[in-house]
């Protein structure tokens, strides 16, 4: 089950469960679309993978036991441990390699 982290790990922008600006990597590192495109260049600073749009969990329980009421988003904010310079260097090495072969 996805955590649905509440913020961009780089700029700390709020990313509520229904945000269409939330992007995740395969490890659920969470960043806003603006940071993914402009600062990270589609390279996760933690694993080197690419990003996809984070799915939106339905607010309503259309089936018993599912939806935000049963599986709420994580309240814990997460922040990257890497500096802007480290991220630029790391992204620079990987951004030219297609995501599917990184």
Let me know if residue 14 belongs to a domain. no
pTM check: above 0.85: yes
Q: Rounded to 10 degrees, what is the CA torsion of 58, 63, 69, 72?
A: -60
Let me know if residue 90 belongs to a domain. yes
Let me know if residue 61 belongs to a domain. yes
Q: What is the extent of the structural domain holding 63? A: 22-101
Going residue by residue through the chain, which has 102 residues, state the pLDDT in tens, using 9 for 90 and above. 999 999 999 999 999 999 999 999 999 999 999 999 999 999 999 999 999 999 999 999 999 999 999 999 999 999 999 999 999 999 999 999 999 999
């Amino acid at each position: 089950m996805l955590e649905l982290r509440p913020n961009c790990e780089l700029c700390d922008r709020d990313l509520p469960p229904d945000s269409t600006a939330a992007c995740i990597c395969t490890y659920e590192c969470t960043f806003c679309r603006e940071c993914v495109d402009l600062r990270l260049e589609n390279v996760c600073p933690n694993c080197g993978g690419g990003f996809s749009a984070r799915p939106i969990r339905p607010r309503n329980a259309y089936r018993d036991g599912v939806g935000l009421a049963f599986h709420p988003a994580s309240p814990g904010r997460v922040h990257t441990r890497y500096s802007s310079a480290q991220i630029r260097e790391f992204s620079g090495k990987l951004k030219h390699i297609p995501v599917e072969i990184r």
